[in-house]
Amino acid sequence: MTLPVSRFQEALEAGEFVVTGEIGPPKGTNVEPVIHEAETYLKGNVVAVNVTDIQTAVMRTGSMVGCKLLLDRGIEPVFQMVTRDRNRLALQSDLLSAHILGIRNVLALTGDHVAMGDHPQAKPVYDVDSVGLLQAITGLEAGTDMGADMKGNPNELDGVPTFFKGCCVTPCTEVVEPQIIKLEKKVEAGAQFVQTQAVYDPATFETFMKNIDHVKIPVLVGIVVLKSAGMAKYMNRGVPGVQVPDAIIQRMADAPKEDRKKVSAEIAGELVREMKPMCQGAHLMTLGWDDVVPDILEHAEIKP
Partner 1 sequence: MIVAERKPFDEILEMLAPQKRVLVLACGGCVTVCLTGGEKQADELASQLRLAARQKGMDLTIESDSITRQCDREFIENLKADPGQYDAVLSMACGVGVGFMSELYPETPFLPTLNTTFYGANTAPGAWAEYCRGCGDCVLAWTGGICPVARCSKSLINGTCGGTNDGKCEVDQEMDCAWLLIYKRLKELGRLDEYRKIRPPRDHRTDRGRGVRRLVHEEMVELEEEESQA
d(CA 51, CA 132): 21
d(CA 130, CA 242): 20
Nearer to partner 1, 61 or 197 (CB): 197
Nearer to partner 1, 7 or 88 (CB): 88
Q: How many residues bind partner 1 (CB under 8 A)?
A: 37
d(CA 127, CA 133): 10
Which of 48, 128, 282, 284 is in the footprint of partner 1 by CB under 8 A?
Answer: 128
Which of 60, 84, 165, 283 is in the footprint of partner 1 by CB under 8 A?
Answer: 84
The closest of 266, 241, 239, 270 to 254, measured between CA atoms, is 266
d(CA 110, CA 246): 30
- Is residue 150 at the binding interface for partner 1, with CB under 8 A as the rule? no
Q: Are 218 and 161 spatial neighbours (Cβ–Cβ below 8 Å)?
A: no
Minimum distance of partner 1 from residue 123's CB (angstroms): 12
d(CA 246, CA 252): 10
- Is residue 142 at the binding interface for partner 1, with CB under 8 A as the rule? no
Which of 149, 158, 177, 258 is in the footprint of partner 1 by CB under 8 A?
Answer: 177
Mask for 197-226, x = binds partner 1 (CB under 8 A): x-----------------------------
Which of 52, 92, 105, 130 is in the footprint of partner 1 by CB under 8 A?
Answer: 130
- Is residue 149 at the binding interface for partner 1, with CB under 8 A as the rule? no
Binding segment toward partner 1, per CB under 8 A, in 70-78, 170-178, 206-214, 293-301: 170-178
- Name the amino acid, one letter, at 279: C
Beta-strand runs (E) in the chain: 18-23, 48-51, 77-82, 105-109, 144-148, 154-156, 164-169, 193-198, 219-224, 281-285
- Is residue 14 at the binding interface for partner 1, with CB under 8 A as the rule? no
H-helix segments, 148-259: 177-188, 202-211, 229-238, 246-254
Nearer to partner 1, 75 or 198 (CB): 198
The closest of 298, 289, 297 to 22, measured between CA atoms, is 289
User: Which residues, listed in sequence order, are joined to residue 221 by a DSSP beta bridge?
Assistant: 282
- Is residue 147 at the binding interface for partner 1, with CB under 8 A as the rule? no
- Is residue 132 at the binding interface for partner 1, with CB under 8 A as the rule? yes
Which of 90, 113, 142, 156 is in the footprint of partner 1 by CB under 8 A?
Answer: 113
Which of 31, 62, 71, 185 is in the footprint of partner 1 by CB under 8 A?
Answer: 185
d(CA 204, CA 42): 28
Binding segment toward partner 1, per CB under 8 A, in 35-43, 155-163, 181-189, 203-211: 181-189
d(CA 51, CA 42): 12
Minimum distance of partner 1 from residue 80's CB (angstroms): 13
- The residue ranges that bind partner 1 (CB under 8 A) are 84, 88, 110, 112-113, 115-116, 124, 126-132, 135-136, 146, 168-170, 173-175, 177-179, 181-182, 184-185, 188-189, 197, 239-241
